Amino acid sequence: MGTALRQLPAPRPELYVFSRLDCAAAGIYTAVSAFFATASGLLAPLLLQLSPNPAIASYAVNLVFYGVIGLLALAAVRHVARRDLQVLATRPWFTLLMVPLAVIAAMILTAVLVAVTGPPQTSANQAGLQALMQQVPAWLMVPLLVVVGPFVEEYIFRHLLIGKLSGKLNIWLCCVLSVALFAAVHIVGQEALSLPVLMPYLAMGAILVLVYVWTGNNVMFSYFVHAAKNLLAVIFIYAIPPEVLEQLQ
């Protein structure tokens, strides 16, 4: 029995101290996100120079943005990610079961909140993604929406805003900030704030915060949940013809 028992990695508090890489990644992410939210129209002439197809140009800009932040995030969080994967490897059935259950919980919570707050509305962010996915093949969208994007957002909104910031602020305040900022960054600058538009992002942010804290600040577990949710959305959008998807919405 002793030989079958795998030891969990020892706690390492030093992994939750802000580093220069954290500051660089968070600073670039905040600055670029703020620019997109307030002055994205200034990019239009540049995008047309990159490609006559605005969708391809938009994809390229997003890929570069998330790619740069993703590399910084990977360098900054590599030791935590390795430790978290080792923890998950000690209980693989838990991971395989809880990831889809968390995705289902997010879908149920979203449906309930949207039903309570009013008629469902498609956000400008979601509409833009759907329009982009109609012109960019799945093999290009999956790396951005399923691999890099969720990793960057879990690093910023869970690992930094909760895992590290909770060393300085109350953890529940950090959780609220994580949910609120996660929702806001997906719609600010694109449309007026409204509960029906915010609710899907608030629900997803709440589930991701819950699984992150519940698993002992395991950023890789929340990343797997986030990636699985995005993968499901990608499959859904590519599998359903655009005219049918429009009728469903």
Lowest mean pLDDT among 1-5, 102-106, 145-149, 184-188: 1-5
Closest CA to 199 of 218, 182, 216, 215: 182
Closest CA to 33 of 188, 197, 198, 193: 188
2 confidence band (pLDDT: 50, 70, 90): very low
The answer to the question of residue 209 being in a domain is yes
The residue-averaged pLDDT of 160-164 equals 96
pTM of the model: 0.89
The answer to the question of residue 186 being in a domain is yes
Residue-wise pLDDT for 39-84, tens only, equals 666 666 666 666 667 777 788 888 999 999 999 999 999 999 999 9
Residue type present at position 31 = A
The answer to the question of residue 153 being in a domain is yes
The answer to the question of residue 5 being in a domain is no
The answer to the question of residue 11 being in a domain is no
The answer to the question of residue 192 being in a domain is yes
4 confidence band (pLDDT: 50, 70, 90): very low
Domain that residue 82 falls in: 16-248
DSSP string over 54-114: HHHHHHHHHHHHHHHHHHHHHHHHHHHHHHHHHHHHTSHHHHHHHHHHHHHHHHHHHHHHH
The answer to the question of residue 78 being in a domain is yes
The answer to the question of residue 191 being in a domain is yes
Q: How many domains does the chain have?
A: 1
Residue with tokens 């399923």: 146
Q: What is the DSSP letter of 7?
A: P
